[in-house]
């Protein structure tokens, strides 16, 4: 095996390892761990030699892991969006309340009082 092929094989193994750690972080909800892993992936791909083509069979395990992790990213992002929407709705509930009059017409009652936090010694 040439030095270049050995370097490619080592890079692919390192990428697989990063993808496994990325999956674990996504499953654990450790979103803070994702940015450093992305930087590691980018650095590995930048250093990958380009002159010796890699076969599709060699990349197939990486493609499977990349697809799996992309689905986890998508689900995590959807969850974050749902939580953000729920928090917005809760903030709105604190600001106003919708009621219906005797004719079924909706009216909004705004909260005019500012909420304050009282500190006691």
Dig out the tokens for 57 from the structure.
């069979």
The answer to whether position 113 is within a domain reads: no
Work out how many domains the chain is built from and give that number. Answer: 1
CB atoms within 10 A of CB 41: 16
Residue 115 falls inside a structural domain = no
Residue-by-residue pLDDT tens, the chain, 121 positions: 578 778 888 888 999 999 999 999 999 999 999 999 999 999 988 877 676 667 788 889 899 999 999 999 999 999 999 999 999 888 877 777 788 888 899 888 777 666 566 677 6
**Is residue 18 one of the residues assigned to a domain?**
yes
Largest CA distance in the chain: 84
Reported pTM: 0.68
Range of the structural domain that residue 38 is part of: 3-108
């Amino acid at each position: 095996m040439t030095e270049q092929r050995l370097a490619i094989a080592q890079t692919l193994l390192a990428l697989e390892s990063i993808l496994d750690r990325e999956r674990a972080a996504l499953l654990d909800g450790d979103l803070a761990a994702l940015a450093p892993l992305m930087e590691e992936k980018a650095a590995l791909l930048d250093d990958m030699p380009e002159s010796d083509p890699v076969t599709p069979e060699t990349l197939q395990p990486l493609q499977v892991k990349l697809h799996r992790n992309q689905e986890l990213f998508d689900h995590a992002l959807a969850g974050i969006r749902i939580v953000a929407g729920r928090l917005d709705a809760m903030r709105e509930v604190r600001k106003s309340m919708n009621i219906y009059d005797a004719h079924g017409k909706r009216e909004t009652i705004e909260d005019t009082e500012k909420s304050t936090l009282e500190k006691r010694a």
